[in-house]
Amino acid sequence: MSEDEAAWDRVIDDYERHLTLERDLTPHTVRGYVTDVRGLAEHAERLGVRDPADLTIRTMRSHLAQQKSLGRARSTLARRSTSLRVFTAWLRRTGRAENDAAALLASPAARRELPATLSATDVRAVLDAAAERIETDAVTGTRDLAILEVLYATGIRVGELVGLDRDDIDTGRRVVRVFGKGRKERTVPFGLPAQDALDAWLQHGRPQIVTESSGPAVFLGVRGGRIDPRTVREVVHRRLGEVEGIADLGPHGLRHTAATHLLEGGADLRSVQEVLGHASIGTTQIYTHVSNERLRAAFRQAHPRA
């Protein structure tokens, strides 16, 4: 390893520790930030930038331009611009650079595509089909139904679901405590169907596969350990795929669906923002566009003079 590479590696290692220990970001988020910075480091070294302290906005614009030429999406470029700004601000704040090189780095405007969602009828069909599977696969069938019910009832993320412990669920008040991005805590309500599914899993399904390694985890894999995000995604894709004519949207599609149905049912935007754990209400506003699109589609289909 050359001295140049060692300089970059030392700084990136320090930055990763900062994100993990001081900012307490999730492993997934830390990995994203670090990956973006390593991509910048490789590009900078090719241009002869031997030390992160020598970064310039020209180098970073060159890096993003190259990414654009490779066909990266606008949303990806916008995220990487944010990553670079966070990194150079940290360099300046910690005395590793004299200037914040990316302070004036602009982000490309990302096209905000409307998220795909399921109708209430589609959701009911998926949940009914999942309930029927319990007859032939009692343990995992009970677990899978509880996973689907909780994801749809609360709109929580997969990472938040797998992190749930027994003490995070208050069945008396029908609320669940989750830790979102940046370990921010919030409380999300859920309905009676989700409670019934959770009760069935915790009382009858989970005890059949629980082991010493299970700990307080709510949802378990078949070997008794805490379920991992990949398994949850496989469960959702599999259950959606079992119902003919249902779009395979995955777990995030259930989150989009929950938010859209809340707004269509009369919930205000601020309440939906709190349920989803969005830092900015601007992120939540896209669901109002989904609701409006559905309204227009219903009007075009039903009104004789549409």
For the chain, give the mean pLDDT. Answer: 89
For residue 214, what are the CA distances in angstroms to 53, 161, 235, 280, 292? 46, 15, 19, 35, 44
Per-residue model confidence as pLDDT tens digits over 129-177: 999 999 999 999 999 999 999 999 999 999 999 999 999 999 889 999 9
Q: Which residues, including other chains, have CB under 8 Å from residue 245's CB and lie 6 or more apart? A: none
Higher pLDDT, 251 or 297: 251
Mean pLDDT of 80-106: 92
Mean pLDDT of 114-134: 91
User: Phi and psi dihedrals of 164, rounded to 5?
Assistant: -65, 135
Mean pLDDT of 11-23: 94
Among 62-71, 229-238, 244-253, the range of highest mean pLDDT? 229-238
| Residue 81 in this model has a pLDDT that exceeds 60 | yes
Q: Report yes or no: 65 and 82 within 8 Å, Cβ to Cβ.
A: no
Residue found under tokens 């309500």: 189
Mean pLDDT of 27-44: 93
Residue 64: CB atoms within 10 A of its CB come to: 22
Per-residue model confidence as pLDDT tens digits over 261-295: 998 888 888 898 999 988 888 788 887 766 666 65
Sorting pLDDT into bands at 50, 70 and 90, what band is 298?
A: low
Per-residue model confidence as pLDDT tens digits over 191-220: 999 999 999 999 999 999 999 999 999 999
Give the catalytic positions in this structure.
157, 181, 252, 255, 278, 287
Per-residue model confidence as pLDDT tens digits over 232-241: 999 999 999 9
Quick one: pLDDT at residue 286? 80
| Residue 1 in this model has a pLDDT that exceeds 50 | no
**Helices 3-17, 74-93: crossing angle, 10 deg rounding:** 90
Distance CA 68, CA 206 (A): 48
Quick one: pLDDT at residue 40? 95
Q: Report yes or no: 205 and 143 within 8 Å, Cβ to Cβ.
A: yes
Token duo for residue 83: 């990553």
Higher pLDDT, 227 or 294: 227
